[in-house]
Amino acid sequence: MNPFFSIIIPCFNQGNYIKDAIESILSQDYDNWELILVNDGSSDNTLDIISLYKEKDPRIILISHENKGLSYSRNAGIN
């Protein structure tokens, strides 16, 4: 089944906050969505945290690339 909508979150060094953002989305009652997390070359533990959640939930999609900025990351998620 295709998701009804996508949530795109560009991330750069958000290790202190990304867990709360993901948990907030996972706690919602509605579940026909996909979460696209775009790691923009983080140098902290952001990628590790996202990878753990990705393993647990197939609705979570991870895109990771070297740092190219917010607009590039957002557009990568849209594509």
End-to-end CA distance of the chain: 19
Per-residue confidence (pLDDT) for residue 2, from 0 to 100: 87
What's this model's pTM, rounded to 2 decimal places?
A: 0.90
Q: Which amino acid does the sequence have at 6? A: S
Task: Give pLDDT, residue 27.
Answer: 97
What's residue 38's pLDDT?
Answer: 97
DSSP characters over 12-45: SS-TTTHHHHHHHHHT-S---EEEEEEEES-SSS
Tokens linked to 7: 């949530």
pLDDT at 1: 67
Report residues of the chain scoring pLDDT below 50.
Answer: none
